[in-house]
Amino acid sequence: MMLEEKIYTELVKAYNNAYAPYSKFHVGAVVVLKNGQMISGSNVENASYGLCNCAERSALFAAYSQGFRKEDIEMLAVIGNTKMPISPCGACRQVINELMDKDAVVVLTNLKKDIKTYKVKDLLPYSFEGEDITNE
């Protein structure tokens, strides 16, 4: 799969907007909506590492904060300065699993434009779901 140049350009902007003074590891993400709109997110660090937020979650939270939901999302793309296409952390995989349709596309890339493409359902097999929270 080729990543459209306009999506890659937005990814690089998000990557450059990262606030990573401690790790120096920048990550950018873009949620592509079915209407063509793009919502970006960057990783944001904090001296208290537990309070950091990844780019994937930043982008998805921004989309949801604007009123969009999983049925509006076509794709999530993520970029980092990695040897291979970047891989989302476990926390991001859980959030992606809940906030995106299981058949939506997740495109992982790097600054060299290497690409790996997955469906949401393939990123987190045997995932914890909202239906698992029951008192019955």
Domains, the chain, with CATH or none: 5-124 (3.40.140.10)
Global pTM reads 0.94
Which one is catalytic: 4, 10, 45, 56? 56
Burial 58-75 (b: 16+ CB within 10 A, else e): bbbbebbeeebeeebbeb
131 labelled catalytic = no
- Give the whole-angstrom CA distance, residue 98 versus residue 37: 21
Which pLDDT tens digit goes with each residue over 26-77?
999 999 999 999 999 999 999 999 999 999 999 999 999 999 999 999 999 9
Burial 46-55 (b: 16+ CB within 10 A, else e): eeeeeebbbb
The strand pairing partners of 41, in sequence order, are 29
Find the angle CA(29)-CA(32)-CA(34) to the nearest 5 degrees: 165
